[in-house]
Amino acid sequence: MSVRPLPSSTPSAQGVDASGVLALLDAVDAAEHIEPHSLMILRHGRVVAAGWWAPYAPDRLHLLYSISKSFTSTAAGFAVAEGLIGLDEPVISYFPEFEADITDPRSRDMRVRHLASMASGHEAETFERAHALDPDELVRGFLLLPPDRDPGTVFAYNQPATYTLAAILQRVTGRPLSAYLRPRLLDPLGIGEVAWLTDRHGRELGFSGLHGTTDAVARLGQLYLREGVWEGKRLLTREWVAEATRAHIPTAGAMGDTDRQDWHQGYGLQFWRSRHGYRGDGAYGQFCLVLPEQDAVLAMTAATADMQGVLNLVWQHLLPAFRPQPLSGREDTDAALADRLTRLALPPAVREPAPPERAKEWSTARFAPYGGVCADRPSLTGAAVTADAHGWTLTLLEDGHRLDLRPGSGAWTVAEEPVPTAVSGGWTDGDTLAVDILFLETPHRMRVTCSLTGGTFTARWATAPLHGGPLRSLRAPRRPA
């Protein structure tokens, strides 16, 4: 289906000081440990700023990591309204085949709301332990792991809790989460293509793995900001929105980092409370930030390990830009912001061309992993550099497959197959080739460095992927033709 554009407006007409947005862009671009990919700001239901840092683009699906949880929560809201699940029903009641195996009283007392609020009673993440107890069925492994405390009394960010909630939803609806959400959420909101990673059972993961556009994230945030109403039609119940976005359990200190203030405000039903408003967020800087007091939504994708730093910049620069009334005489600032948004770009690697005196050596060079194995990507077994009439190609070898990359010096070279990438790089000296690879449907960047003298290469992640699989899997899942 074609995606209906969200209504747009100048910032000043919606009471937004464009200089605050410009200051946010300046701060994000200047931050050493933040690589921004996209930003959308809605005020009073209208887009007042939207930009993508090239080579990222508006129609590009992007791995949202744990924003997936907020879409799973929304599916739960529909299922509750339809009488398919009950928040106070025992989790085990949805898995009668495990009834005889699950004997711990705390596990048997776990309710659906405990899954949704990350309050299963476990004191820490359970993924590895649950998988060890049952490598073939994560739900069973999770339920076999006795909670440390009574369900509902302690918070732990816990992937199997959301996975189990998603498994319940897919069982009671008889379809994948994305298919269940299509007529209830995605189509009514005008959200086009999405794709969700699945496990060996064909279940969409629920806790992660959703790929969608920044526009889709913004629309979800706007639906919650309007308490479940979209274009005058109620989709979600007001009660669900209130329940999902209030704090059900305290989180202060639970994440083990006293500097992460926005993770210490409490947890809802697959939504975080923030110092201002609430949010869905995903690893490495994916945000769906809802600000009811400001009647605003911010959607963002990025690659960073400093997510609190991103929010700090939002609070510092953007929050003061929201004013109670339209602003007059700001046409020049609005125009400056509009121009800036069209010029956003990630700087490519600017390096030297192949050294002429060693070009022949480089054109047939083969490389083995430095030290015998790539520390960041052990499955990479070799690399090669070749030249033809069209330029240089870096080839990475991984479990019998090859990934051919044509780096542009001073520019990004984009390719769609076998995995969407943008590549730039060149020679730092006669002995060393360094290439940066953006995996465009994810937050991830890899730098490959080849040494001609040593005949070795290294591959290092800026942010390491959290899902397994080869490099060619770093893309949104594609439907079979």
Q: Among 26-35, 281-290, 297-306, 368-377, which stretch is predicted with the lowest mean pLDDT?
A: 368-377
Token readout for 472 is: 């060619």
For residues 224 and 236, give the distance between their C-alpha atoms in angstroms, rounded to a whole number: 9
Burial of 148 (0-12, 13-18, 19+ CB in 10 A): middle
State mean pLDDT over 346-370.
Answer: 90
- State residue 304 phi and psi, 5-degree precision: -160, 150
State mean pLDDT over 37-43.
Answer: 98
Supply the pLDDT for residue 481: 47
Burial of 384 (0-12, 13-18, 19+ CB in 10 A): middle
State mean pLDDT over 50-59.
Answer: 98
Supply the pLDDT for residue 292: 98
Q: What pTM was estimated for this model as a whole?
A: 0.96
Residue 43 has pLDDT above 80, yes or no: yes
Q: Which domains does the chain have, with CATH numbers?
A: 12-82+167-342 (3.40.710.10), 356-473 (2.40.128)
Q: How many CB atoms lie within 10 A of CB 232?
A: 6
Supply the pLDDT for residue 480: 58
Q: Is the omega angle on the peptide bond into residue 420 within 30 degrees of 0, that is, cis? A: no
The pLDDT tens digits of the residues spanning 12-21 come to: 999 999 999 9
Supply the pLDDT for residue 355: 87
Task: Determine contact, residues 197/208, Cβ cutoff 8 Å.
Answer: yes
Token readout for 275 is: 């110092």
3-state SS assignment for residue 224? helix
Supply the pLDDT for residue 233: 97
Supply the pLDDT for residue 258: 58
- Write the CA distances from 281 to 103, 151, 302, 476, integer angstroms: 35, 24, 11, 18
How far is C-alpha 364 from the geometric centre of its chain's CA atoms?
Answer: 39
Supply the pLDDT for residue 256: 57
Q: Between residues 175 and 354, which one has the greater pLDDT? A: 175
For residues 7 and 18, give the distance between their C-alpha atoms in angstroms, rounded to a whole number: 18
Task: Determine contact, residues 283/466, Cβ cutoff 8 Å.
Answer: yes
Categorize the per-residue pLDDT at 375 as very low, low, confident or very high, splitting at 50, 70 and 90.
Answer: confident
Token readout for 147 is: 């909670």
Supply the pLDDT for residue 255: 57
Query: Which is it for the CA torsion 322, 328, 330, 331, positive or negative?
Result: positive
The pLDDT tens digits of the residues spanning 261-277 come to: 999 999 999 999 999 99
Token readout for 37 is: 């990919």
The pLDDT tens digits of the residues spanning 379-419 come to: 999 999 999 888 899 999 998 899 999 997 789 999 999 99
Supply the pLDDT for residue 252: 81
Give, rounded to a whole angstrom, the gap between the first and last alpha carbons of the chain.
Answer: 17
For residues 83 and 216, give the distance between their C-alpha atoms in angstroms, rounded to a whole number: 27
Q: How many CB atoms lie within 10 A of CB 48?
A: 25
Closest CA to 344 of 209, 214, 211, 193: 214
Query: Which is it for the CA torsion 373, 379, 382, 386, positive or negative?
Result: negative
Categorize the per-residue pLDDT at 303 as very low, low, confident or very high, splitting at 50, 70 and 90.
Answer: very high
Categorize the per-residue pLDDT at 2 as very low, low, confident or very high, splitting at 50, 70 and 90.
Answer: low
